[in-house]
Structure 1
Amino acid sequence: MKYLLSPILSFYFFSSGYGQPEIPRYFTQKKNFNEALHKIVHEVGLDSTWNAGEDGMETISFAVIDLNSKHPVLGCVNCGNFIYPASVYKMYVAMEILRQVSNGDFSLSRQYIVKSPNDVDRSKEISYDPRPLLRAGDTVTINYLLDLMITRSDNAAANCLIDVATRDSINRTIHEMGWYGSEVTRKFLSRKLEDPGYDTIKSTETCALHAADFMYKVYKNELINPWVSRQMKALLGRQLDTTKLSLGLPHNTMYYHKTGWWSIYTNDVGIVEDGNIKYIIALFTPVTEEKVSLQMKELSDRVYNFISLLHH
Structure 2
Amino acid sequence: MKLKFTFFLFLIIVPMLHAQVKIPAYYQQEKSFTDALEKIITNAGLDGSYDAGEDGMEKISFAVIDLNGKQPVIGGVNMDNFIYPASVYKMYVAMEILKQVSNKDYSLYGTYVIKSPNDVDTAKEIFNDPRPLLKNGDTVTVKYLLDLMITRSDNSAANCLIDLANRKHINKTMHAYNWHGSEVTRKFLGRQFEDPGYDTIRGTETSALHAADFMYKINTDQLVNPWVSMQLKVLLGGQLDKSKLAAGLPDNAMYYHKTGWWSIYTNDVGIVDDGKIKYIIALFTPIQEEEVALKMKKVSDEVYKLISKRAAN
Quickly name the TM-score band, shorter chain normalised: over 0.9
| Paired AA for residue 294 in structure 1 | L
Q: Where does residue 307 of structure 2 map in the other structure? A: 307
Q: Where does residue 157 of structure 1 map in the other structure? A: 157
Q: Secondary structure of the residue that 2:124 maps to in structure 1? A: coil
Preserved CA contact (<8 Å) 2:18 2:180:
no
Preserved CA contact (<8 Å) 1:20 1:81:
no
Q: Confirm or deny that 1:267 pairs with 2:267.
A: yes
Inter-partner Cα distance in structure 2 for 1:140 and 1:270: 28
| Paired AA for residue 280 in structure 1 | I
Q: Secondary structure of the residue that 2:309 maps to in structure 1? A: helix
| Paired AA for residue 188 in structure 2 | F
Preserved CA contact (<8 Å) 1:29 1:73:
yes
Inter-partner Cα distance in structure 2 for 1:149 and 1:189: 15
TM-score (norm 2): 0.94
Inter-partner Cα distance in structure 2 for 1:249 and 1:306: 12
Preserved CA contact (<8 Å) 1:151 1:238:
yes
More helix by share: 2
Preserved CA contact (<8 Å) 2:182 2:206:
yes
Q: Where does residue 282 of structure 1 map in the other structure? A: 282
Q: Deviations over 1:134-160 (max 9, x none)?
A: 000000000000000000000000000
Preserved CA contact (<8 Å) 2:61 2:81:
yes
Q: Secondary structure of the residue that 1:311 maps to in structure 2? A: helix
Inter-partner Cα distance in structure 2 for 1:17 and 1:83: 15
Identity of aligned residues (%): 68
Q: Deviations over 1:64-96 (max 9, x none)?
A: 000001000000210000000000000000000
Inter-partner Cα distance in structure 2 for 1:162 and 1:131: 21
Q: Where does residue 9 of structure 2 map in the other structure? A: none
Distance change (3 Å), C-alpha of 1:302 and 1:17: farther
Q: Where does residue 37 of structure 2 map in the other structure? A: 37
How far did 1:20 drift? 6.0
Q: Where does residue 182 of structure 1 map in the other structure? A: 182
How far did 1:197 drift? 1.3
TM-score (norm 1): 0.94
Q: How many residues align?
A: 298
Q: 5 Å matches for 1:28-177?
A: 28-177=28-177
Q: Secondary structure of the residue that 2:28 maps to in structure 1? A: coil
How far did 1:21 drift? 0.7
Gaps of 5+ in 2: 1-14
Preserved CA contact (<8 Å) 2:20 2:179:
no
How far did 1:276 drift? 1.3
Q: Where does residue 11 of structure 1 map in the other structure? A: none
How far did 1:19 drift? 5.7
Q: Where does residue 5 of structure 2 map in the other structure? A: none
Q: Where does residue 230 of structure 1 map in the other structure? A: 230
